[in-house]
């Protein structure tokens, strides 16, 4: 139960920080229609999940649920997606890596499109 509470708190903090950083970055660094705020948040999240995962491999405790699953998950799921892809790359699962990337992007776009169409009609 404690781990769920850590995930809940971390996820909320990560989501709020994602909103603040993304909005601020987009206002300050608006490059045409490029979603710079989301891009910056995703790159920061990838860096953070790398640092935190490296640390918590050495020190296994339940705070990993607060920081990795909760905070990074609330901040950006792209960080988890990237960490999973790196793991597939490092383990030599190249075909699964390519399938995962392609399906995630293509099916994700399709799901958004279908969701928009469903509500629009």
Residue positions forming the annotated binding site: 73, 76
Q: How many angstroms separate the CA atoms of 95 and 63, rounded?
A: 33
- Angle at the Cα of 79 from the Cα atoms of 62 and 9, rounded to 5 degrees: 40
Q: How far is CA 121 from the centre of its chain?
A: 31
* Residues annotated within a binding site for Na(+): 73, 76
Residue 96 CB contacts under 8 Å (≥ 6 apart), including other chains: 88
Q: Are 114 and 121 spatial neighbours (Cβ–Cβ below 8 Å)? A: no
Find tokens 């699964």 and name the residue: 96
């Amino acid at each position: 139960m404690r781990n769920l509470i850590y995930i809940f708190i971390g996820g909320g903090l990560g989501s709020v920080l994602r909103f603040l950083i993304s909005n601020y970055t987009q206002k300050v660094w608006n490059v045409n229609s490029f979603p710079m705020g989301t891009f910056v948040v995703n790159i920061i999240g990838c860096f953070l999940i790398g640092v935190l995962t490296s640390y918590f491999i050495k020190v296994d405790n339940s705070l990993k649920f607060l920081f990795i699953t909760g905070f990074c998950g609330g901040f950006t799921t792209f960080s988890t997606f990237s960490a999973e892809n790196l793991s597939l790359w490092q383990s030599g699962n190249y075909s699964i890596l390519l399938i995962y990337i392609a399906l995630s992007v293509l099916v994700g776009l399709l799901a958004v499109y279908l969701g928009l169409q469903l509500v629009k009609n």
